[in-house]
Structure 1
């Protein structure tokens, strides 16, 4: 980056390897998911990705993010403020060959819709514990809706996050359709946002 006067975007392999490690290690500390990543140090130059043709099974740089973690991984790349996210063809359409892997088109399409509809504005992070993290996007003038994202790599959990006093009394739904409950924002602007075991939930006002 120094040699190019910071005029070059970089694929964020540091984040990719962290995502792969988190998908393999039950004891991975999610508060460290961005450690050593380009998006943490130079967010405006980071091209974030989950997997690519080099990291898929059978390739020389195999470091494949496990299927159970894909929704979490794509939520991290698509729903946060920083980075320029890429989607891997094999994750979207599936990988053929001797050991085929199904694509996750429906999951990724949903997260793309959430990104386009809600993922705008400033961001507050909640790095709660090794198995529970979340963040809130506060919207913009053109897209004023708030977005509360919560991730658990352990059991079902709840994370209390602030979305704004102006949201008091509003009813939020899980935009990823993983949770049928409704969450009502309290008078102080906080919501107790739920997430199931080993997954991601993205809450907003429909």
Structure 2
């Protein structure tokens, strides 16, 4: 996958897409959290092209309530070439199935799993994102550019069926009847009350219920068959359609064994949304499921360090990437956090680049949020940080200093790669640090572009690293 990165790396620091709006950021947020003026981009492409560290990053290719409705697949298709050039190797799309909300649905209210935008139901043929044909075209464009396509999978709950009495709810009627006349025009995976909770097996299969009246029972063989076990199951249908992997929504509502069995049957990249800031919860889940997980522990520690407490020692606490770096998908924002009005559930715009500098220099597999990447105030440096991740972010992680105001981390590199040193400073004054590096008699540059002067390393590997006020630098050799 690195061939596209090396072929097109000469474009990663070009400031493009002039005139893009701040998608997903309110005017109030931009006023309260102004983004510092970004330095003029510096071209380090000749040096970075010499090194290979990682195969790419994932792009979350949507935000909540994307607009215009019906055109989203075509909009994303137009971005693919730029994302390939930047160093993206996977895109994560929203749930593709028809939802109860029809043309307004973001896909998280699944009704007909097999309707990807071809059946006239819930008031529309297309989904919010486009038609089945447009989705197929997008997948084909991505594959032509060596980019995998990840489908968002909602397995916990259903919406949009017909009313039906449930004997296990004392005869109360719930919307549990799914057939050709009731929200399931495809006629595949028709459902009744016996396939939801409660039923003749148990009250529920996990405690964290969401839409409890139509919470699917994953212990029912019929449900397992249609979701992943049959050769014409939902999982196999998406795989045959062209999807390369899966993002599982709200995995707290069913057993991790479901993910394990799905992946064993159909394969592909897999990541779970276990929305929990406790790193031990995430560790236990990846062990049980065999899947990667979004590192919510890392996300919340970044929020606490940069925003909530303004204390970088919070970065010394538990994260999934510290114990299972190969199983951790790191991120700084997603469709849920960016629409959350609680400031403790999102990282401010003013601190986004520091957060991205962290995840794009450390271990773990970073996920970039569409609205951040398409924000013209962030895009040039984000492209540069992705290039750094793909070229220099390799080797063991060693924290050289951590204090309330400073965080300094070294990637060891290897025999063929010099690695890097990240220096974050949240003080209102510049800082410096006498570091012992892996490099002797070398000139260092800040690949983040926030310091324009070089630093000389002496014969013993000693160098005095610098960082501006409320900023970050990423130091490595200039060759």
TM-score range relative to shorter protein: 0.7 to 0.9
- SS of the counterpart of 2:434? strand
Aligned residue number for residue 83 of structure 1:
364
Supply the distance in 1 between the matched residues of 2:404 and 2:325 (Cα, whole angstroms).
Answer: 23
Cα distance change of structure 1 residues 37 and 138 upon mapping to structure 2, 3 Å threshold: closer
- SS of the counterpart of 1:169? coil
1:42 to 316, 324, 345: 324
Q: CA deviation at 1:58?
A: 4.9
Supply the distance in 2 between the matched residues of 1:170 and 1:197 (Cα, whole angstroms).
Answer: 25
Cα distance change of structure 1 residues 156 and 65 upon mapping to structure 2, 3 Å threshold: same
Cα distance change of structure 1 residues 61 and 198 upon mapping to structure 2, 3 Å threshold: closer
- SS of the counterpart of 2:313? helix
1:183 to 455, 463, 469: 455
Aligned residue number for residue 299 of structure 2:
16
- SS of the counterpart of 1:188? coil
CA offsets 1:144-194 (integer angstroms, 9 cap, x no match): 223121110112111222222xx2221101111111121111222121110
2:426 to 142, 149, 153: 153
CA offsets 1:28-87 (integer angstroms, 9 cap, x no match): 32122252322233333211100001000456897221122112101111111x211110
CA offsets 1:88-127 (integer angstroms, 9 cap, x no match): 1111113xxxxxxx55111110101112221122232123
The 5-angstrom pairing of residues 98-137 of structure 1 reads: 104-137=378-411
Structure 2 unmatched runs, 5+: 1-282
Q: CA deviation at 1:6?
A: 5.6
Supply the distance in 1 between the matched residues of 2:284 and 2:298 (Cα, whole angstroms).
Answer: 20
Aligned residue number for residue 72 of structure 1:
354
Structure 1 unmatched runs, 5+: 95-101
Does the 8 A contact of 2:307 with 2:348 survive in 1?
yes
Q: Scaled by the length of structure 1, what TM-score is found? A: 0.83
Q: Scaled by the length of structure 2, what TM-score is found? A: 0.38
Cα distance change of structure 1 residues 189 and 14 upon mapping to structure 2, 3 Å threshold: same
CA offsets 1:7-29 (integer angstroms, 9 cap, x no match): 1211111211222233324x532
Supply the distance in 2 between the matched residues of 1:69 and 1:63 (Cα, whole angstroms).
Answer: 14
Aligned residue number for residue 333 of structure 2:
51
Does the 8 A contact of 2:304 with 2:314 survive in 1?
no
- SS of the counterpart of 2:433? strand
Aligned residue number for residue 470 of structure 2:
198
Aligned residue number for residue 97 of structure 1:
none
Supply the distance in 2 between the matched residues of 1:168 and 1:146 (Cα, whole angstroms).
Answer: 14
RMSD value, Cα: 2.3
Aligned residue number for residue 32 of structure 1:
314
How many correspondences in the alignment? 194
Supply the distance in 2 between the matched residues of 1:124 and 1:191 (Cα, whole angstroms).
Answer: 17
